Amino acid sequence: MPGDQPRRNRDTLSMVSDGDDVRGATLAGPCVFLLFECGRPLAGSTRHDLRELDEVAIGRASARHHAREQRDGRRVLTLGVPDPRMSQPHARLVVELDRWILEDADSKNGVMLNGARQHRAVLEDGDLFDLGHSIFLFRDPVAYDPWLDRDSSQLRAAPPGLATFATGLRRTFEDLTWISPMPTPVLLQGQTGTGKELLARAVHALSGRKGPFVAVNCGALPATLVESELFGYRKGAFSGAAEDRDGLVRSADGGTLFLDEIGDLSLPSQAALLRVLQEREVVPVGGTRPIKVDVKLVAATHHDLQALVAADRFRQDLYARIAGFVVRLPSLRERREDLGLLVASILGRTDTSPPPFSIEAGRALTRYDWPLNVRELNNALGIALALAHGASIGLAHLPEVIRQGPPAPAVQTARPPRPADADRKGELESLLREHAGNISAIARSAGVSRVQVHRWLKRYDLDPSRYR
């Protein structure tokens, strides 16, 4: 499709860090996401870069599509969505004074911005607007991506857990595909419910190791039994040891050992684990000879391990052993652009084709903050599917905390511009006088493109020839 190509130039000046991975100067700009189609919950999402555009036209189409073209000197992106409740055309986004404006294109069902009907409004980072039964997300800034337009179907399909629209996180996942086959240990950090075990299983799948994936919840191991559970024991080593047991570390030999919540291990248990990692061998409780083990180590925690090291609650030498490649998994709130992608992934694992969502349920899902992250989303969708009995998923099928949602915003016709915008006309007139109406000189002085200068001139009805 037109526009379905990597970007060939970068003409913005902004710099942001997206996720933990910053490769030099990461150029940033606004993006719009088709976040969630209520009528097609398995369709996933799309991402569209706005930096090289003057307008986005959105409307109903027979199939999802996008196209970039020049119209009367304006760079226009057309987005088509197979939503029967959407008009053709339905809405447009236009840029004015470096701000993106959402406008209703005289649609039948109107435009809802953050739950309130709007005809024209300035968009802010994180705004959600629905057209028909399709929900869009506006983000500004978003880290640079070489693709102007990207559909979720173009993202890495396998293993599960490595698909994301968050640029920095995607770069980290790409690095992880190279790290996983190596013996380098991996440390996953993030809030509870962000998908650390799912990512650990992805590491195991990418490692190519033939042995099993063995998950250990370190926080659930009784302090008195840590060594016997991890390293095994010999028959008669203690009361109740009626037979030899390999232990969890030896069970993972040739595969991957996943130590979840490693920050909950006691200091004595940390010392014992350190010996195993240093020597790559275990001595079962009651045994005398060490046994060699070969495991890929993946550790995870919701704690700040460096802070625990500083507080002498986690061994620095053990931290050095496990923190070979560190991944910080952001909260779901931080990667809201992935919500539709995650919904499609979760529902795609069910045995039956999921029903459509009502727009009210779709709004509730996309506006909720998800404090318990992906785990909470997974549970909410499971509950909704069970309660809907195959019918359309409505607001009543979602947990009460999600149904309540954030307070409704006050209705407004348009958001006020930034304070600096009010003085833009005066500044532009000064530049016109200073540079005698020379557009190129004005652009260089203001640090913007010639196209941007022409936008301002049109906005304020200023004729540069009058200043020459």
The two beta strands, 128-131 and 55-60, are unpaired
Chain mean position to CA 347: 18
Chain-wide mean pLDDT for the chain? 85
Q: How many CB atoms lie within 10 A of CB 133?
A: 21
Question: Is the distance from CB of 455 to CB of 53 less than 8 angstroms?
Answer: no
Distance from the Cα of residue 449 to its chain's centroid = 31
> Residue 76 burial (CB < 10 Å; 0-12/13-18/19+)?
middle
Q: In what order do the strands lie in the sheet with 91-96?
A: 65-71, 74-81, 55-60, 91-96, 99-104, 120-122
Output the six-digit token pair for 332: 């779901």
Compute the distance between CA of residue 367 and CA of residue 377 in angstroms, rounded to an integer: 12
Distance CA 76, CA 62 (A): 20
Domain boundaries, the chain: 28-156+333-404, 167-329, 419-467
Q: How far apart are CA 35 and CA 81, in angstroms?
A: 12
Intervals of the chain under pLDDT 70: 1-27, 156-160, 233-242, 287-288, 406-424, 447-449, 451
- Model pLDDT, residue 141: 86
What is the structure's pLDDT at 419? Answer: 43
Interatomic CA distance for residues 105 and 85, integer angstroms: 14
Percent of the chain with pLDDT strictly greater than 70: 85
CA distance 62 to 42: 17
Nearest to 124 by CA among 453, 425, 444, 418: 418
Tell the CATH topology of 28-156+333-404: Tumour Suppressor Smad4 (2.60.200)
The pLDDT of residue 234 is: 63
Instruction: Provide φ and ψ at 313, rounded to 5°.
Output: -110, -5
The whole-model pTM stands at 0.79
Q: Which two tokens stand for residue 194?
A: 């962000």
Burial 235-260 (b: 16+ CB within 10 A, else e): eebeeebeeebbbbbbbbbebbbbbb
CATH superfamily of 167-329: P-loop containing nucleotide triphosphate hydrolases (3.40.50.300)
Contacts of 191 (CB under 8 A, 6+ apart): 302, 329, 331, 373
